[in-house]
Chains A and B, each alone.
Chain A
Amino acid sequence: QKEVEQDPGPLSVPEGAIVSLNCTYSNSAFQYFMWYRQYSRKGPELLMYTYSSGNKEDGRFTAQVDKSSKYISLFIRDSQPSDSATYLCAMSLSGTNAGKSTFGDGTTLTVKP
């Protein structure tokens, strides 16, 4: 079993919809949680970063972490065609060697105009 499982998708929604992207994990030692967005033929870019349970909001994006359930989500409000991309969750341990992250396999989202 993988340490990080991500809803596989693909996901197709109409413009303006609310999108929910989800990951579960098995290692309770993970302390830091990230979401990356990757456009076709490009490298991933960091969207959100959090290190605690609860919600973190940035514009139309909200990252939610529930450490008790080992579950993280990314919500996108008022989705736009420009949000069409692959979304990767990632998490890492605390401590000196925390830079190494474990990634989900990604969920591909298409927002149709």
Chain B
Amino acid sequence: DVKVTQSSRYLVKRTGEKVFLECVQDMDHENMFWYRQDPGLGLRLIYFSYDVKMKEKGDIPEGYSVSREKKERFSLILESASTNQTSMYLCASSQGGVRTEAFFGQGTRLTVV
């Protein structure tokens, strides 16, 4: 089974802090994604990556950056956390090519106070 592991289930950070969310997948998938999920807004794509050191902006990249130094690891960085970044963050991976189904981590519930 594909396993996507996010480093934290729950996180509380202060406004202005730099926040790192880590994600690791164990199936040698090409693609990795970061989404945030908010009530009434569904899943929104923040950033995605098709290869090591490669990244592309999703629909809502403002206030975020990402890093993919190794194939299995994709990090989401909140440069200066704000209260409107309080959300559920979901990491996902997919095989690539014609296989587009994504496998999700368990999510990180981030609260910025």
Tell me which of B41, B45, B103 contacts A100 (CB under 8 A): B45
Sorted nearest first, the 4 A-B pairs with minimum C-beta distance are A99-B31, A43-B104, A105-B42, A92-B100
- Contacts A34-B101, A44-B104, A45-B104 given; does A97 touch B50 at CB 8 Å: yes
- Contacts A43-B90, A43-B105, A99-B48 given; does A32 touch B100 at CB 8 Å: yes
**Chain A residues whose CB sits within 8 angstroms of the CB of B107 once the complex forms:** 41-43
Verify B42–A99 contact, CB threshold 8 A: no
Tell me which of A34, A42, A51, A103 contacts B43 (CB under 8 A): A103
Chain A interface extent, by class? 20 to 34
- B94 within 8 Å of A (CB atoms): yes
Q: How far apart sit A97 and B56, CA to CA, in the bound complex (Å)?
A: 11
Q: How far apart sit A15 and B31, CA to CA, in the bound complex (Å)?
A: 38
Verify B97–A43 contact, CB threshold 8 A: no
Contacts A/B (CB < 8 Å), 26 sampled: A32-B98, A32-B101, A34-B101, A41-B107, A42-B107, A43-B90, A43-B104, A43-B105, A43-B106, A43-B107, A49-B101, A88-B42, A90-B102, A94-B98, A96-B50, A96-B97, A97-B50, A98-B97, A98-B100, A99-B30, A99-B33, A99-B48, A99-B102, A100-B31, A101-B100, A105-B41
Q: Mark A10-52, 1 if CB is under 8 A from B, else 0.
A: 0000000000000000000000101010000111111001010
Determine how close the nearest CB of chain B comes to the CB of A39; give it in whole angstroms: 10
- Contacts A41-B107, A46-B101, A46-B103 given; does A99 touch B41 at CB 8 Å: no
Verify A100–B48 contact, CB threshold 8 A: yes
Chain B interface extent, by class? 20 to 34
The dominant DSSP class at the A interface is: loop
**Chain B residues whose CB sits within 8 angstroms of the CB of A49 once the complex forms:** 101
Determine how close the nearest CB of chain A comes to the CB of B83; give it in whole angstroms: 21
Determine how close the nearest CB of chain B comes to the CB of A74; give it in whole angstroms: 14
Q: How far apart sit A45 and B92, CA to CA, in the bound complex (Å)?
A: 10
